[in-house]
Amino acid sequence: MYTTLTYLHSITRWLVLAGLLYALYRAIHGLASKREFVRHDNLARHWSATIAHVQLIIGLCLYFISPVINYFLHNYKDAVHQREVRFFGMEHSSMMLMAILLITIGSAKAKRKKEDSDKFKTIAVWYLLALVIILIMIPWPFSPFASRPYLR
C-alpha cells in the first residue's frame, strides 16, 4: 500500500506541476494578448485544481502511514531537531497544504469573475504564488531541506 501510494505521489507531483504551468501559460498569454476567456482556459483552470486536489488526498494518505511521520509524531522533541524528519513532518506538509489552498481560492475566484481579463489575472496571481511554494517545498534531489530522487 505504502509503495503504491508513493509511486502515485511521484507521478501526480509531475502532473500538478504540468497542470499549473499550463494554466499559468494560458492565463499569462490570455492576459497579454487581451483575448477572450474560452472553454479551454476554463478547463485548464479546473483540471489543474482537480489534479492538485488528487495530489492532496494521496499526500494525506501517505502522511498518516509514513514511517517518517510516525517517528515525527511519536518522538517530537527529538524529531524536530532532525532536518529531514522536521521537513516532512511540518514544513513540507503545511506549505503544500497552503499551496493547495491558494490554488483552490484562485480557481474559485477566477470562476466567479465577470471580465475575461480579471479571470486571467486571478489565475495568474494565485497559481503563480502556489507554484512558487510548491517548487520550494518539493524534496528535489538538490534541495537543502530534504532530497528525494525525481522518480521513486
pLDDT in tens, 54-85: 999 999 999 999 999 999 999 999 999 998 89
Is residue 35 a contact partner of residue 77, using CB atoms and an 8 Å limit?
A: no
Model pTM score: 0.90
> CB count, 10 Å around CB of 128?
16
Please state, for a pLDDT cut of 70, what percent of the chain lies above it.
Answer: 97
Does residue 152 have a pLDDT over 70?
no
Entry field: residues in the chain: 152
Q: Measured between alpha carbons, how far is 56 from 104 in angstroms, rounded to an integer?
A: 12
Residue 11 lies in a domain: yes
Residue 3 is predicted with a pLDDT of 83
Q: Assess if residue 69 is contained within a domain.
A: yes
Is the residue at 144 inside a domain? no
Q: For residue 5, what pLDDT band results from cuts at 50, 70 and 90?
A: confident
The pLDDT of residue 38 is above 80? yes
Read off the DSSP letter of residue 90: I
Residue 143 lies in a domain: no
Q: Structural domain of residue 29, as residue ranges? A: 2-137
Domain assignment present for residue 151? The answer is no
Rounded CA gap, 85 and 54, in Å?
24
In the chain, the number of structural domains is 1
* Any domain includes 30: yes
Give 125: exposed, middle or buried? Use CB within 10 Å, 0-12, 13-18, 19+: middle
Q: What's the confidence (pLDDT) of residue 151?
A: 64
In a domain, 67, yes or no: yes
Q: Per the domain annotation, does 55 fall within a domain?
A: yes
Please give the average per-residue pLDDT across 124-150, as a whole number: 87
